[in-house]
Homo-oligomer: A and B are copies of this chain.
């Protein structure tokens, strides 16, 4: 079945920072045509050039709107949906005061299902079509999540938290149970329809070495699954990791010694990294998730995207709900710009500050996120054969956005205005495999 969409269309072909010429990093058609066949991208290009090949087909016309690939959220916690905007804590307090009591509820599969439904709806409302998702420690939470994602044909990655110490008794698993539960989930869900599994130790402080060894065993037995955890988010956390793992050279080294650094390892936050940690991330081809709304909300610190660029480390955007303050990747890009700007007021040695360009930002939200998840063979842009998950942005969703866009001369100016002024109103429709879901 062929479906045709006429709108302004933008997608990325490469990282705008890495290409020899920025203009080679994306394609933009002011009046574009996107052709979807059986849920996959069939063709994309200029409307006037392509339309003669599609005479007689019905066209969905989105005048004054912009179609982009669906947004990709590389770090989010579905059981924390109900605790978004909880007051007054930084990381370690946050976990004890809000996170652990909330996550306790997710041993109940029906409760987990209800929240998973609401959570997935929030992602789609914001144009996010793929996410790398923390469950709770309970296998049931991930079961419920995958069942709901499967019903909606979503491309989602999730995993059960592994956590056997330094948390309330009621939330602890054991090295053995975490291994068995994760393995069952992998066998049942990894590669089922569009679903994928991530081995998910919460973070170094809450896993014993025995548990980290079990995580490694899972990665060895299933080399195609992800590893999803937190890294170097907060200074107190950093000091704690130093006490818990005195033999390790640094935080990343804890995971490295445990054998958890492989190309599908995604480390959320990664704020306080040394050059040698960045170099290791590059050498092992690991990815990091930049979560600016969360890093501001918890007062964690300022992610150094220039360090990631310098060391050629894959980066995706993460909302990190519930510490993140929005499900919207658009709003997350806005905060990413601000976090990066604020680095000027707190200069790091060895870095001459550069603003985050809008092209780079939207790249991170789409193809960059797909590359960070090693999913760029399936999603992230509109190359032929990729899965047709995309978002339709209403460029007149507020008077101010429309007024301000009318002043813009270049695509980059327009994208920046969208990045700074768009909100949930701006997402007019989200498509999954060519089907509208809002």
Cα A235 to Cα B342 in complex, Å, equals 12
* Given A398-B424, A404-B82, also A87-B416 (CB < 8 A): yes
A328 CA to B258 CA in the complex, in Å? 48
So how many copies of this chain end up in the complex? 2
- The answer to whether the Cβ of A358 comes within 8 Å of any Cβ in the partner chain is yes
Q: CB-CB contacts of A356-376 with B at 8 A, as 1s and 0s?
A: 011000000000000000000
The number of chain A residues with a CB under 8 A from chain B is 57
How does the 8 Å CB contact mask read for A296-308 relative to B, with 1 for contact and 0 for none?
1111111000000
Closest to A406 in B: B82
Stretch at the interface among A18-26, A117-125, A273-281, A283-291: A117-125
The distance in angstroms between the C-alpha atoms of A106 and B253, with both chains bound, is 58
Contact residues of A: prevailing secondary structure: helix
Bound-state Cα–Cα, A301 to B342, Å: 7
Q: Looking across the interface, which residue of chain B has its beta carbon closest to that of A424?
A: B398
Segment at the interface with B among A44-52, A57-65, A159-167, A333-341: A333-341
User: Interface 1/0s, chain A 254-272, versus B by CB < 8 A?
Assistant: 0000000000000000000
Taking the nearest CB of chain B, how far is it from the CB of A377, in angstroms? Answer: 32
Interface of chain A residues 240 through 262 with chain B (CB within 8 A)? none
Residue A413 CB within 8 A of the other chain: yes
Residues of chain A having any CB pair with chain B under 8 Å:
81-90, 118, 121-122, 125, 235, 293, 296-302, 325-327, 334, 337-346, 353, 355, 357-358, 398-400, 403-404, 407, 412-413, 416-417, 419-421, 423-425
* A–B complex contacts, Cβ < 8 Å, 27 sampled: A84-B400, A84-B420, A85-B421, A87-B357, A87-B358, A87-B412, A87-B416, A89-B355, A118-B403, A122-B399, A125-B399, A235-B345, A293-B338, A296-B339, A296-B341, A296-B342, A297-B337, A297-B420, A299-B338, A299-B340, A299-B342, A300-B345, A302-B345, A325-B338, A325-B421, A346-B346, A425-B425
